[in-house]
Amino acid sequence: MLSEFRTALSLLKWRNFSIKSGHCPLCGFTWFVKLDDYEMAIRCLRCRSSAATLSFVSVLRHFIPDLASRHIYELSSRGPLVRYLLKYAGRVTLSEYFDDVPLGQYKGAVQCQDVQQLTYQENSFDVCTSTEVFEHVPDDVQGFRELRRVLKPGGILLFTVPMVIAEKTVERALLVDGRIQHLLTPEYHNDRIRGSAAVLCFRNYGQDILHKLGLAGFNKPKIIQGDDVTGWGYHRQVLAAHK
């Protein structure tokens, strides 16, 4: 709770502060708070979801109305989305990537997985989900291929990444023979486990992410505009792709 309070204070700009009641797709009636004028500074006060998570769950509920009968694989182990899935999905598998843990092994209660080389068998899951992960994956197309492999026939991948309106994805860094080669000034993002500005961003996605999903074998991938749940004009694009 103390860390959440500190994070909120770091985001707060009083001139842009606002609060209103509304309905959260994760937890029901709530109060929304706007700490500043961008989506990650919008929060549900009950479940702590950001505007990005609120949009994502609005799409998830539309695509997977029978969540209670599905086996979900989520590429993280904590946060409002994880709590929502654990409460409403039939079965949930969670993971994180740890540099110091062999793939498939556990750090505490959390299994280590690298989305580029998952240890799960083919046709294991009904749905795969992630939020703000693939911009940090060195070989994102290989990661998409792996998620397609572990999805059951007809399964669906739903995820978000930071996107711009440009057609082409901008590659910022490459991993070559185990070494990072920076093509542009390094950009780092925050991470719940590793901390502030701790995770390298390999790319800034454009609309051609649909082509990348097609290369990985997904059928008719599309971009869906999530709901503006708060009414402040903040909503997120969600990628959906079927096996």
The confidence score (pLDDT) of residue 86 equals 98
This prediction's pTM: 0.91
DSSP E strands in the chain: the ranges are 18-24, 28-34, 42-44, 71-74, 91-94, 106-107, 110-111, 125-131, 151-160, 170-171, 173-176, 179-182, 188-191, 195-200, 203-204, 219-225, 237-242
Within the chain, where are the H helices? 2-11, 51-63, 80-88, 140-150, 209-215
Residue 13, both tokens: 């700009």
| Residue 92 near residue 69, CB atoms below 8 Å | no
Block residue for tokens 């911009």: 135
Which H or E run includes 231?
A: none
Distance separating alpha carbons of residues 187 and 197, to the nearest angstrom: 8
Please say whether the beta carbons of 201 and 187 come within 8 A.
Answer: yes
pLDDT at residue 12 in the model? 60
pLDDT tens per residue, the chain (243 residues)?
Answer: 445 545 555 666 768 888 999 999 999 999 999 988 878 788 999 999 998 899 999 999 999 999 999 999 999 999 999 999 999 999 999 999 999 999 999 999 999 999 999 999 999 999 999 999 999 999 999 999 999 999 999 999 999 999 988 899 999 999 999 899 999 999 998 777 676 667 999 999 999 999 999 999 999 899 999 999 999 998 889 999 999
How many CA atoms does the CB half-sphere of 40 hold within 13 Å?
Answer: 9
**Per-residue confidence (pLDDT) for residue 166, from 0 to 100:** 84
Amino acid at 231: G
pLDDT, residue 17, reads 84
Report all structural domains of the chain as residue ranges with CATH numbers, in order of start.
Answer: 51-242 (3.40.50.150)
